[in-house]
Each structure stands twice: as structure tokens, then as C-alpha cells.
Amino acid sequence: MKLIRSMLNAWSGIQYSFTTQTNFKIHLLLAAIVLTAGIWLNISTIEWMVVFICIAVVLTTELLNTAIEKLADVVHLEIHPGIKLVKDIAAGAVLVCAIVSLVIAAIVFLPKILHLVKPVQ
């Protein structure tokens, strides 16, 4: 029962992020596009593993960023330079993960896309 309650609480956090955080929705949309591209381009098992890890890392950092922002808002209601810095650092973590994931996506998908569009000789 405790495990189920814990999972429901976690799901509630995901739902909150989905309904209130535009960036979380954007990351989910991009994940759906990447998954569709993976199916279309028939990526390998190892490539699927890397893609899923990238998606999980980006979504997880976005969730953690949201949690940090909400906690910071509770701790200090007014604008505070220290709180701003904490929020900026958390957002920076999401940005780093997103950029690295984009590079990995280019490594996985670009050769396959270029192979498709290569002119026939």
C-alpha cells in the first residue's frame, strides 16, 4: 500500500509538471518526434538505449528543475539574488542535458537521414 501511495505521489508530480510547465511539454513533444524518427529510421538496439537514456535524463532534470523552483519559491517569496542563482543553475542543468541530447541525436540520426537523401548514381 505504501509503495502504491508513493507511486501515486510521484505520478502527481509528473502530472503537475505536465500541466504547468511549458518546457516539460516541449521536451515530451520532442521525445515523441525522436521516438517516431527512431522507428522510421530503424535505429539499432544500442541506439534505442542511448535515445531512451537521453529522453529520461532530460525529462528528469526538467522535473528536478521544477521541484527546485517550487522549493525556492516557498523558502523565499520575494525576489532574492541567491534564489535567482539557484534557479538559474537548475535551469542550466536542463540546458546542458538538452544540448548533449541534441548532439547525440545528431550522431544517431544524421547519418541515416543523409543516407536516405543521398542522390542515386
Handedness of CA 35, 41, 47, 49 (dihedral sign): positive
Evaluate whether 57 touches 97 at the Cβ level (below 8 Å). yes
Q: For residue 42, what pLDDT is reported?
A: 97
What pTM does this model have? Answer: 0.91
CATH code where residue 23 lies: 1.10.287.3610
65 burial (CB, 10 Å; 0-12 / 13-18 / 19+) is buried
62, 24 contact by CB (below 8 A): yes
Helix pair angle (22-40, 2-20), 10° resolution: 100
> Quick one: pLDDT at residue 121?
62
- pLDDT at 76 (0 to 100): 85
Residue 77: what pLDDT? 83
Active site annotation includes 62: yes
Task: Give how many domains the chain has, as a whole number.
Answer: 1
- Asked if residue 101 has pLDDT above 90, the reply is yes
Mean pLDDT, the chain, integer: 95
80: containing domain: 2-117
Q: What is the pLDDT of residues 33-77, one digit of tens each?
A: 999 999 999 999 999 999 999 999 999 999 999 999 999 999 988
